[in-house]
Structure 1
Amino acid sequence: MSTPSNQMLPATGVTRPDAVATARQGIVQVPGGKAVFPTLTVAEHFTVGAWLFADEDPVAVAARTGEVLALFPRLQERWDQLAGNLSGGEQQQLALGMAFVAQPKLLVIDELSLGLAPTVVGQLLEIVRRIHASGCTIILVEQSVNVALTVATRAYFMEKGEVRFSGPTEELLGRDDILRSVFLHGASKGMGEAPATTGAREREPVPDGPGTPVLEVAGLRKSFGGINAVTDVSFTLREDEILGLIGPNGAGKTTIFDLISGHLPADGGTVRLQGVDVSGWGADRRAAAGLGRSFQDARIFPSLTVAENIAIGLERHIDVRDHVSALFATPAMRESEEDVAFTVDDLVELLGLGAFRDKFVSELSTGSRRIVDLAMSIAHDPTVLILDEPSSGIAQRETEALGPLLRDIRRATGCAMLVIEHDMPLITSLSDSIVALELGRVVLQGTPDEVLADPRVVSSYLGGDLSTIQRSGGAEQPARKRVPVGAVAGEGR
């Protein structure tokens, strides 16, 4: 990483000063994930972003704001809207826009591509290059080495708080001893030997050809404040099928998951689970009926240990539930608890969580929490499993190991899967078919090759930057010249 000659940080260091003093010295951070204030409007965010320049000429600040709005016209369109109502991509644009207005000397960006569509990542990378060209040094924390390659010439790879590699980013790709799967390595192989979860239902052999529908969505609709988030969405998920769901940020993908799982009431349409209309059921009843879900932000219990969280995933398979049996520790209760403990141990070993077994989830990194979330989903043993960006926040090699593991889970458990994912190599290799969404509507459904070749999908979602499309797998060198930005990659940083 090189620092432009026209920007110098004070020699006094920034180890002890508080966040305000650090910001006044020109160090600005774009946090990963939650980088905006949901109850403030877009306009108010730009005012906040310029707090360091309260005494500066308002015309100059307005000019910098205008530059950002020219780069991100969607922010101009949503100028008076609350940031909490923006899509993930728009929130990330807003966070970078605030950083641009602040004129940093050192900009730290945490997880630039986290949860974002390829086209949005491409736009954000252009902003990163522009900020760097203005004389700013940039440190980029990024799980996808392929994405980091497009902007960073020098990289540090961290694992469990230690620097394992430092040097040219291109050399990092050849270090298989470092770029390895820490958690999921060997998990796919272990699936063949792993016992079924406690109380797992008996599996019937899946016949060849189209399977029985296990999840049917028909005419689903939802609006917020007059804005249509989901409009007449219909699709069918069949037994033993993996169906991918793709689309730009703000296309309604997560809202559809909320409607299917019962976390939001639908304005119209029906959801049928194994032939039963569950549209009026709550989330808990749908889960008990065999619908499992993971969330993009790994909604697990931070004050519980990893083992305790996985045990909660087994809750629907516990046969002994009465308080009297628990009070007197009856043989049936002890046997049930032993079954849970054995299954937790199996899943901890399967997913490489042994070092974290007794740690509180609040102590884990984003990627580690995602693996715990996956373990809980497997423990739930659902008939239908819906996964919201399972690769979000995990290292590139973990993503590359995730596809084979999910296919083996499907084969071992017989569950059907509905998957939202922005990593194209993962979703195309995993899915039997893909549904493409835009502005809350289904625009196309077909095989992965058919969907990704469609001009509408390319223009609205994929874009033309190969590096942002192929976030995992082998990276092709981008044609453009990279700027000297530093990158930090790794798990458990």
Structure 2
Amino acid sequence: MTTVLETEGLTKEFGRLVAVDGVSVAVDSGEITSIIGPNGAGKTTFYNLLAGQLEPTDGDVHIKPRNGDELVTATGMPPHEINRLGLSRAFQISNVFEGLSVIDNVRIARISRDGRTLDVRSLARADRELTESAREILELTDLQDVADEECANLSHGDVRKVEIAVALGTDPSVVLLDEPTAGMNPTETDRMVDLVRDLDSSTDTTFVLTEHDMEVVLGISDRILVLDGGRLIARGPPDDVMADERVQEAYLGGEVGDGATTEDRTAGGGEA
């Protein structure tokens, strides 16, 4: 495994409030990593620091470019430069172009990866290679049957898949998923979990997610990072993290879950 995302002493202060406090983590390729914590733990601020939406008060963010061998310091870069470097983010609140088709959204993501901006819609349609690569991404995300549908006409679950397809369209080494199952019914949730697992195994992109649904977290994660009060209080495999007394106290104020292991949950018929 290779480290694809790393933070060193990452800190963000808003006046006297320390929202993220000296967080040092490493995310490795080949692992799905979830970031959890109670409300106000600093998860959103941490994500915003990773993606360049906020500048840190102290510390650094390092990202491995898609075609690079060494981590590159991304601290202080604007979001579009971090995106081109290799980190893409799928937001909880949809930012797809609702008036455009699914494939046009992915085509535009491919164009932005290359830094092209002129008349993006007509340029995208004229570029055969661009279209082929967009269709490959739609196949990966199970969107091929709705490629020509306007995003405004899609179900909530399919819109979230378009978000992931757009994120993949920039050819990232790391994708940040922000509450990927928020607002989904159980069937849509199961499909999203399966999709992320499939993408993790079929691509060389590494996935990091925040998620409030603990069944999803325990069923999908290879590694969990726990924030509380802006500090990293635990990290490791799901069973180890959920057994940590600090996590039980900080995250749920007591015991986490029902004592079942993640293997039990995954084998339990759809609970993951």
Shorter-chain TM range is 0.7 to 0.9
- The residue matched to 1:263 in structure 2 has which SS? coil
Where structure 2 has 5 or more consecutive residues not aligned to the other structure, the ranges are 65-70
Identity rate of aligned residues, in percent?
36
Partners of 2:157 and 2:175 in 1: CA distance: 20
Q: State the match for 2:242 in structure 1.
A: 452
Please give the per-residue CA displacement for 1:186-233, whole angstroms capped at 9, x wherever unaligned.
Answer: xxxxxxxxxxxxxxxxxxxxxxxxx22221101111122422211111
Q: State the match for 1:99 in structure 2.
A: none
Q: State the match for 1:404 in structure 2.
A: 194
Amino acid at match of 1:417: F
Q: CA deviation at 1:335?
A: 9.8
Partners of 2:125 and 2:164 in 1: CA distance: 25
1:295 aligns with 2:91: yes
Instruction: Pick from 157, 164, 170 the counterpart of residue 380 of structure 1.
Output: 170
Please give the per-residue CA displacement for 1:12-71, whole angstroms capped at 9, x wherever unaligned.
Answer: xxxxxxxxxxxxxxxxxxxxxxxxxxxxxxxxxxxxxxxxxxxxxxxxxxxxxxxxxxxx
CA change 1:335–1:310 in 2 (3 A) is closer
Partners of 1:465 and 1:229 in 2: CA distance: 24
C-alpha contact 1:381 1:413 (8 A) present in aligned 2: no
Partners of 1:246 and 1:465 in 2: CA distance: 13
C-alpha contact 2:88 2:167 (8 A) present in aligned 1: yes
CA change 1:451–1:336 in 2 (3 A) is farther
CA change 1:396–1:449 in 2 (3 A) is same
Q: State the match for 1:36 in structure 2.
A: none
Where structure 1 has 5 or more consecutive residues not aligned to the other structure, the ranges are 1-210, 477-493
C-alpha contact 1:246 1:435 (8 A) present in aligned 2: yes
Partners of 2:205 and 2:142 in 1: CA distance: 23
Q: State the match for 2:131 in structure 1.
A: 341
Q: State the match for 2:76 in structure 1.
A: 280
- The RMSD of aligned alpha carbons is 3.2
- For residues 432-447 of structure 1, the aligned pairs below 5 Å read 432-447=222-237
Q: State the match for 1:130 in structure 2.
A: none
Q: State the match for 1:134 in structure 2.
A: none
Partners of 2:208 and 2:18 in 1: CA distance: 22
Amino acid at match of 1:403: V
Q: State the match for 2:46 in structure 1.
A: 256
- For residues 75-114 of structure 1, the aligned pairs below 5 Å read none
Please give the per-residue CA displacement for 1:286-336, whole angstroms capped at 9, x wherever unaligned.
Answer: 1111111111112222333322212222225559x5969x9xx9xxx7997
Superposition TM-score, scaled by structure 2 size: 0.81
CA change 1:349–1:277 in 2 (3 A) is closer
CA change 1:349–1:278 in 2 (3 A) is closer
CA change 1:232–1:402 in 2 (3 A) is same
Q: State the match for 2:217 in structure 1.
A: 427
- The residue matched to 1:244 in structure 2 has which SS? strand
Q: CA deviation at 1:432?
A: 2.0
